[in-house]
């Protein structure tokens, strides 16, 4: 991951419209990377700062995706979110992907975090879970459109990634499957 981050350095996305920076820094692995700027959220084949294609998804992550989802098709986006002290991610839905039938796989590394997940409507009640280094969450079925966010990170709770804090790797399909999941 560190080698890949040298090829695709972390960048600071900004909110569409306002241009307010995210507290989370990001990069991506794989053919499509999630980016956000004043123009909006979208998937792009190249890094917004270097202009180069994103590095390939590490084989270990591809294998993990296959084991957990049972899908032969690989993830197209491996989003890297890096949370320093004080970074958080507000409650949101992931729906920038046409492949909403496919699950999302999330791997947490480094410092722990307080994760919050609700239902498909913003007003639905939420539950909080602590995520620790090595935790893997698969969000499929009804959970795929659940509102979720990161309320806080527990700084210096783990020494796995000194200088990075918490890293979350989120694996996603973006384009619809040639043979949709429904009916398999």
Binding residues vs ligand MD3 (CB under 6 A) = 79, 81, 89, 94, 104, 106, 117, 137, 139, 143-144, 146, 148, 150, 168, 170
The set of residues, in sequence order, having a beta carbon less than 8 Å from that of 123 and lying 6+ positions away, is none
- HEC per residue, 103-116: CEEEEEEECEEEEE
Residue nearest to ligand MD3 (CB): 168
Which listed range, 22-30, 66-74, 92-100, 135-143, lies at the site for Fe ion (CB under 5 A)?
A: 92-100
Report what 161 binds from ligand MD3, Fe ion, none; CB cut-off 5-8 Å by kind.
Answer: none
Give dist(CA 168, CA 184) in Å, integer. Answer: 30
Give dist(CA 125, CA 120) in Å, integer. Answer: 10
Report what 79 binds from Fe ion, ligand MD3, none; CB cut-off 5-8 Å by kind.
Answer: ligand MD3
Residues 145 and 95 sit within 8 Å (Cβ to Cβ): yes
Minimal distance, residue 94 CB to Fe ion, in Å: 4
97 binding Fe ion? (CB under 5 A) = no
Q: DSSP character for 175?
A: S
Report what 155 binds from ligand MD3, Fe ion, none; CB cut-off 5-8 Å by kind.
Answer: none
């Amino acid at each position: 991951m560190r080698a890949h981050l040298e090829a695709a350095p972390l960048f600071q996305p900004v909110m569409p419209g306002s241009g307010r920076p995210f507290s989370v820094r990001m990069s991506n692995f794989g053919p499509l990377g999630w980016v956000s700027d004043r123009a909006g959220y979208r998937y792009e084949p190249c890094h917004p700062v270097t202009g180069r294609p994103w590095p390939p998804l590490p084989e270990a992550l591809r294998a993990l995706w296959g084991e957990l989802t049972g899908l032969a098709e690989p993830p197209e986006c491996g989003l890297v979110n890096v949370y320093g002290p004080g970074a958080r991610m507000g409650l949101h839905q992931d729906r920038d992907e046409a492949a909403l039938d496919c699950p999302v796989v999330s791997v947490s590394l480094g410092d722990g975090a307080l994760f919050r997940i609700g239902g498909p409507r913003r007003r639905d009640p939420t539950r909080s879970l602590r995520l620790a280094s090595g935790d893997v969450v698969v969000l499929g079925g009804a959970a795929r459109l659940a509102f979720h966010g990161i309320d806080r990170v527990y700084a210096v709770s783990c020494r796995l990634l000194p200088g990075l804090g918490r890293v979350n790797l989120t694996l996603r399909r973006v384009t619809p499957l040639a043979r949709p999941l429904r009916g398999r």
